[in-house]
Structures are given as structure tokens and as C-alpha cells.
Amino acid sequence: MMATLPLTVGATTTSTTWVSPNMMELPALVVERNAIGDQVALSKWYSGKAVEDAQREKEVIDEVRRQAPTYGLNPDDAERFFAAQIESNKLVQYALLSVWQLQGRAPDLPPPDLARLRKQLDDLQKRLLQALASSKEVPDSPYCKAAIAQAVDEAAHNDRLDGLHHLALMRSFGDFCRATARP
């Protein structure tokens, strides 16, 4: 049997608080984005459409890069952040679709309209860019990884996320911090 590392989610072992209240906006918006992923998955359950849509991903990233300077963001940084958001959205979708397959049914809800959901994602994108700009110094901070881990934990707790959405939130911030050794 392969050894696995213990994942004790919710158990904060550091006594220092790195998260400032204004830093919580970004994870809260990411939670919203991933929640739209649930709806997107349901639309794809009904339509049979593939989770991954390379053309749409390109459109999202192109638009993010175009808008980034308006928010004082470097287009490469904005792209990196949104590429992670797309990956985490796909993680949510693949997992839900797989569970629904096993159960032989999805939640008993009418098929959501993918075009309407994409419009919601586009609207959220502006708020995410704004929040990303407000947290611009965080990735370069030597405390970034500790702060992000705490912010993710707090957001998961505040929004009562289940295991999947908590994991997706962790994925969303996977490469948020720039490489720095532990202080």
C-alpha cells in the first residue's frame, strides 16, 4: 500500500496570523467562481459536452490579459492566476460528473444555461481582477504561503465548503505565491 501524507484540514497548527481581513476578498470570490463550476457541470451533464473547452479557455485568458493593465496588473500574472482558476473549475466539474455517473443521477434541477453561466463568470472576472490587484503585494511576501494557507482555511470554514470545494480552493491558490524559501 502506498503511504499518504495526512491532510488534517481545518486544524491550524501555526499560532501566527498572517491574514488581514482585506485579503479575504480574493478567496471568497474564488469560492463563488468554483460554485458556478457546479452549475456548469450540471449543464454538461445534460448536454454531454466535454468539461474542457480549449476555445473558451483561450477567450477567457485573452480577455484577462487584455483587461489586466486596466487594474494595474501584469498580464502574465493575471493569466497565471486565471489559468489556476480554470484548472480548479475543471477539477470541480470532473469530480461532480464522476459522482453523478456513479449515482446514476445528478441533482434534480433543470438544465442550467451554459451561456448564462459564462456571462456570470465574465462578470465575476472583473471583481476577481480588482481583488487580485488589491492583493498585489502578497505573492512576493515571504509569508505568502502561510497567509494563503490560512486564508483558504478561513474561507473554507466561512463558506462551509465540502471536501471537494475545499480542495478546489487549495488548487486555485496553488501557484499564487512566488517562490521564496521559508523565512
Ligand X SMILES: O=C(O)C(=O)C[C@]1(C(=O)O)C=C[C@@H](O)C=C1
Span interacting with ligand X, options 52-60, 67-75, 127-135, 150-158, rule CB under 6 A: 52-60
State the first-to-last Cα distance of the chain, in angstroms, to the nearest integer: 35
Which residue number, 89 or 150, has a Cβ lying nearer to ligand X? 89
Figure out which of the listed residues 32, 53, 77, 175 binds ligand X, where binding follows CB under 6 A. Answer: 53
Q: How far is CA 151 from CA 73, 159, 171, in A?
A: 21, 12, 13
Burial of 6 (0-12, 13-18, 19+ CB in 10 A): exposed
| Beta-carbon count within 10 A of 2 CB | 3
89 binds ligand X (CB under 6 A): yes
Write the DSSP symbol of residue 178: P
Which residue number, 29 or 86, has a Cβ lying nearer to ligand X? 86
52 binds ligand X (CB under 6 A): yes
Which residue number, 88 or 150, has a Cβ lying nearer to ligand X? 88
Which residue number, 19 or 91, has a Cβ lying nearer to ligand X? 91
Binding residues for ligand X, rule: CB under 6 A, are 40, 51-53, 56-57, 60, 85-86, 89-90, 118, 121
